[in-house]
């Protein structure tokens, strides 16, 4: 696969990124990750909420490039099981699990924004506790690996394997974009990897406790159960939920 010794937005045209995506499409995620670690080296980091897709990628990275930075956004509102899984994976896999926090405590947020912001304005809450900390963390990185898959939701159905993310100033790599949920779970079981027990309790997708609920029966998308009846399907990490939109939503 093609690689650049010092890739930047300026040197990678849209046509070049499109050509790389066409080249990646028939390859498996491990080949894509191998390209990524050789292309971006220490400027590469994986972001994960410790869902099944993220765990698969963590396992592959531990084999391809031990010590790769794997970070998670600690909103102070994750499920206890998520924190426990984080510790388990940190002990099992040879990656550098890194906690990223925005520095704003829940009490400070309540003082500034009012109580239970996640109920009144979930976009603003996600911006403060997820999007802003992510942008700060990625400021000195060149590439960000995610577990986004096309079969997770209608909004993600057209996800590219490689893209340039203007809002963060990094290349975004979705090595599992063309994998299915079935393939992810098959990999987990074949490699005897742990996963969040909440998935066996009706939670297809796990985020923050106040904004995640079990579902009786998912209709094929693995992000059901997030934000209940709100007109919201993304936290903003993978969409253009920028500061201006979040500020306006808070007014």
225 pLDDT band (50/70/90 cuts)? low
The CATH superfamily of 14-249 is HUPs (3.40.50.620)
At 174-215, the pLDDT tens digits run 999 999 999 999 999 999 999 999 999 888 888 899 888 888
| Out of 76-90, 150-164, 207-221, least confident range | 207-221
The residues carrying an active-site annotation are: 235
Domain ranges (residues) in the chain:
14-249
State how far the Cα of 222 lies from the Cα of 148, in Å rounded to an integer.
11
pLDDT at 19: 94
Q: Could you read off the pLDDT of 95-149 as tens digits, one per residue? A: 999 999 999 999 999 999 999 998 888 889 999 999 999 999 999 999 999 999 9
Q: Using the 8-state DSSP alphabet, how is residue 5 labeled?
A: S
DSSP state of 32: H
From residue 58, alpha-carbon distances to 42, 54, 61, 159, 194 in Å are 16, 6, 5, 20, 12
């Amino acid at each position: 696969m093609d690689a650049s010794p010092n890739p930047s937005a300026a040197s990678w045209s849209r046509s070049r990124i499109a050509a790389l995506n066409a080249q990646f499409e028939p390859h498996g995620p491990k080949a894509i990750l191998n390209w990524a670690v050789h292309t971006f080296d220490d400027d590469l980091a994986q972001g994960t909420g410790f869902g099944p897709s993220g765990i698969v990628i963590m396992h592959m990275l531990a084999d391809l490039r031990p010590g790769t930075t794997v970070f998670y956004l600690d909103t102070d509102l994750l499920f206890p099981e998520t924190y426990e899984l984080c510790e388990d994976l940190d002990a099992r896999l040879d990656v550098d699990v890194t906690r990223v926090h925005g520095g704003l405590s829940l009490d400070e947020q309540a003082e500034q924004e009012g109580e239970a912001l996640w109920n009144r304005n979930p976009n603003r809450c996600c911006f403060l506790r997820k999007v802003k900390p992510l942008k700060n963390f990625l400021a000195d990185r060149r590439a960000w690996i995610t577990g986004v898959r096309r079969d997770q939701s209608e909004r993600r159905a057209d996800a590219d394997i490689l893209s340039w993310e203007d809002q963060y100033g990094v290349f975004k790599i979705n090595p599992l974009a063309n994998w299915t949920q079935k393939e992810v779970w098959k990999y987990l079981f074949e490699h005897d990897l742990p996963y969040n027990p909440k998935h066996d309790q009706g939670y297809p997708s796990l985020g923050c406790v106040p904004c995640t609920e079990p579902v009786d029966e998912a209709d094929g998308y693995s992000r059901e159960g997030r934000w209940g009846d709100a007109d919201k399907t993304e936290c903003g990490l993978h969409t253009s939920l920028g500061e201006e939109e979040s500020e306006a939503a808070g007014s």
